[in-house]
A and B are shown apart, each in its own frame.
Chain A
Amino acid sequence: MVALSRRAFLASGASLAGGLCLALRLPLAGAAGSTSESALAPNAFVHIASDGAVTLTLHKSEMGQGVHSGLAAILADELDVDLASVRLTMADEDPAYYLAMGMMGTGGSTSIRMSWDALADAAASARAMLVAAAARTWQVEPTACRTAAGKVLGPTGQALGYGELAALAATLPVPEKPPRKPPAEYRYIGKPTPRVDNLAKVTGQAQFGIDVTQPGLLTAVVLRPPQFGAVLESFDATAAQALPGVRKIVAIDSGVGVIADGYWQARRAAQRITVKWRPAALAMDDASIARALDAALEQPGSPARRDGDVDAALKAAGKTLEATYRLPFLAHACLEPMNATAHVRDGQCEIWAPTQGQTRSRDAAAKLLGIPRERVTVHTTYLGGGFGRRFEVDFVLDAVALSRAAGAPVKVIWSREDDLAHDFYRPAAAHRLTAALHEKTPSAWQHRIASPSIQSRLAPDTIKGGIDRTVVEGVRELPYAIPNVAVDCALVETGVPVGYWRSVGSSGNAFVVESFIDELAHAAGEDPLAFRRRLLARQPRHLRVLELAAERAGWGQPLPQGQSRGLAVHMSYGSYVAQVAEVEVADGAPRVRRVVCVIDCGRHVNPDQVVAQMEGGIVYGLTAALYGEVPIAGGSARIGNFDTYPLLRLDRMPRIEVHIVGSQEPPGGTGEPGVPPLAPAVANALFSLTGQRLRSLPLRLPT
């Protein structure tokens, strides 16, 4: 098993020209003897050296989601080599890797589903060229040859290793439509395979951003403003400057940078600096934000969906229900605090970063420095969690600005307090729902959402007609058979920075939709499972995961006194997930004992990693459901360390059972879809148990 090691990340990576990988610097031992002349490198992903070493250049950030393992399995199957023999190296930012989103980046649970075909074609091209080279050598037809574990086999017992064929194959044309293997011949895809990063991560050798070293590296911390939007007026660093190890103290865009020989010296010096900030004009707090959101709910927003005539249906209805739901801001809390390393010199900039946004980082660094992007290099390390936070470039720009000021390579390390109080949060939001029941069946669903907009900052071009798609995500696609539906969107600027947070809009919208559907079921006097089944009769994929989850959880069967079940189903990022939560109340607080999860993610590469992503998504969702909130007061986020932003711990871990529905549908995502159904499943279980309908997160029972 070859894992990405420190050396792998410090190697220069692929050198690219014209979109072709010409001379990959093999980062690992044993690569001696491979030259560009004797190696086969038909595209930016695959490199086969004359000694037979197969290297996959990875274009996606590994932040725990197992993407490197999945990509390696796709390559191994389509190229026909042993998975354990594949060497891995991480690509530097390059347009050759813009397979999705028009950039090199990792997010939206897109990595496998949007790279699968391209990578399989890249591997199949190389295999076809190796087969053609062997056929030419043996003077036989290519169709008379086959491959097996790194060799081409001829019709009369001939065999040549890929390495022996690489030089000749490299002279042959790259096929435009290479033949792909029939899925029945896959050795790895669809089966549980070990993670390729296991060894590096159980020996402490995996190199994260915070572990980057460079000759002459300095370490920096930044004193950040006490409020969002506060501006630096002046600072007095006289006392700090005199401390040992302190190199430079300098104002940068994000605050006052303290550059020292090491983190401890920088942090200690920072405590001795007096900073004057000009307060932000807006000193918002939770109450003012709630008022702004509520006010927006009183107006019809921008129409995101219109089916039938909701107003008429509501007027005609025998019974209507109305409810307001509220969602808090949430922090990402990646366990590796934000950090990055940069070296700015001679009009060039080299960056080492745990980033989900290579292209955004490169462009932003070039803009800050006023140099062409070609003079900026972005190397990607392992990420100690991402969850959307590392799609941002703020921590990268810190490092670039500090290195420029220091004239040396600088690593910036945020404290945990910085990381939590200076996040781009999951937006707080308010939802107002009105529904009509006609003979136990909903006849109208009116849903108004007031929320800050993520896309107005990150992708303004995607906002159409006042609709930010992330705000209405999972609401606009309401799957229930209701004849009259209206979804409205109101974008409210609060002054609190917001960004992509694992499962983005679905993270909160599923809570609202699946809780309110539960309210309707109870109002109709019907079992929540039976009610959903009736309304999802024409949604086979929703229905299947829902029914299987209910069956595996023993829905309807008795539980011990003091426990109850709740369920929820939600589609996001191309995958359908149903969850059933079993809860109890302990010491006045909800406690989740068991979660049964069923996912239909279509075709998938590694079922064990699908399960792992569901387990992880459920824990992420549970932390949000039980604890998650970022209070805002006086214009700032009032959280400190993990004492004020608690995460779920081992002793509160429920038993989780995950089932994957066999499916030949196109591949869906798995990084995010495990999160959305968790909170409503728990909230619905709490209603069943206590009769309390909790309409805001985190879930707190009235005392």
Chain B
Amino acid sequence: MTRVHVNGKTFEVDAEPDKPLLWVLREDLGLTGAKFGCGVGQCLACTVHLDGQPAPACMTPLAAVGARQVTTIEGLPAEGSHPVQRAWMELNVVQCGYCQSGQIMAATALLARTPDPDDAAIDAALRGNLCRCGTYQRIRQAVKRAAVLAREPA
């Protein structure tokens, strides 16, 4: 059994140590928000946070997670009240939505360390996250909008 900390809870998981975190989340914990897109870290649809840092869950063996806190899209408010989620909805960013968990997790990590990112910072932080529907323009706009929403008093 391996102990993992996900979205503020602790789980005991009966899985091989080399099983990628993505499949532990999806199959063992029933958290299917992080998506399988390529399996090799090239699309980042599987992006989660490890101690607040974005990481490709498909490339992270369970054994490598250790004591770090894993945050998935399910760790954001279920009612969509996080500034990034609000901005995403306000601008109707999503299309098929498959990559968007990863996009949103990359965006929340960016804003946590860079509260007011410019285009270059957004591009650098999210260029790894592929979107086949082509929502990129709205993603850029929504990250900036989320930065504004995050500064507004609740």
Which residues of chain A have a CB within 8 Å of any CB of chain B? 62-66, 192, 194-195, 197-208, 210-211, 213, 219, 244, 262-264, 333-337, 382-387, 413, 415-416, 608-609, 612, 615-620, 641-643, 647-651, 653, 655-656
A655: which B residues are within 8 A, CB to CB?
Answer: 137
Q: Is the CB of A384 within 8 A of B123?
A: no
Q: Are A263 and B96 in contact (CB under 8 A)?
A: no
Task: Given A213-B30, A335-B37, A385-B98, verify A202-B74 contact (CB < 8 Å).
Answer: no
Contacts A202-B85, A650-B123, A650-B140: A384 and B98 contacting too (C-beta < 8 A)? yes
Q: Which residues of B contact A619 (CB under 8 A)?
A: 131, 133-134, 136
Question: When A203-B33, A620-B134, A651-B123 are in contact, do A383 and B96 touch as well, CB less than 8 Å?
Answer: yes
Specify which of A66, A198, A262, A641 is in contact with B27 (CB 8 Å cutoff).
A262
Residues of A within 8 A of B138 (CB): 612, 615
- Which one of B30, B104, B132 lies within 8 Å of A335 (CB-CB)? B132
Q: Are B43 and A335 in contact, with the CB atoms below 8 A?
A: yes
Chain A contacts for B34, CB-based, 8 A: 204
List A contacts of B89 (CB < 8 A): 194, 198-199, 202
A211 to B74, CA, bound (A): 14
Contact A195 B94 (CB under 8 A): yes
Q: In the bound complex, do residue A337 and residue B36 qualify as a contact, i.e. CB atoms below 8 Å apart?
A: yes
Interface hub of A202, A647, A649 (most chain B Cβ within 10 A): A202
Q: Once bound together, how far apart are the Cα atoms of A648 and B92, in whole Å?
A: 20
Contact A204 B101 (CB under 8 A): yes
The answer to whether the Cβ of B109 comes within 8 Å of any Cβ in the partner chain is: no
Size band of the interface chain B makes with A: 35 or more
Q: Which 7 A-B pairs have the closest CB atoms?
A: A204-B33, A619-B134, A384-B98, A64-B96, A64-B95, A201-B97, A204-B73
In the complex, chain A residues whose CB is within 8 Å of the CB of B104: 202
Interface contact A64-B97, CB-CB below 8 Å:
yes
Assess whether B57 is interfacial by the CB under 8 Å rule: no
Which residues of chain B are within 8 angstroms of A207 by Cβ–Cβ distance?
Answer: 32
Pull 28 A–B residue pairs with CB atoms less than 8 Å apart, ordered by A: A64-B133, A198-B92, A201-B94, A202-B89, A203-B80, A204-B31, A204-B34, A208-B98, A210-B35, A213-B30, A263-B27, A335-B98, A335-B99, A335-B130, A336-B35, A384-B97, A384-B98, A386-B96, A416-B38, A608-B92, A612-B92, A615-B134, A616-B135, A620-B134, A641-B40, A642-B43, A649-B127, A650-B139
Among B77, B95, B136, the most chain A Cβ lie within 10 Å of the Cβ of B95
In the complex, A615→B133 CA distance in Å? 9
What are the residues of chain A within 8 A of B134 when measuring CB–CB? 615-620, 648
Contact A198 B88 (CB under 8 A): yes
- A residues less than 8 Å from B26 (CB atoms): 211
Contact B23 A264 (CB under 8 A): yes
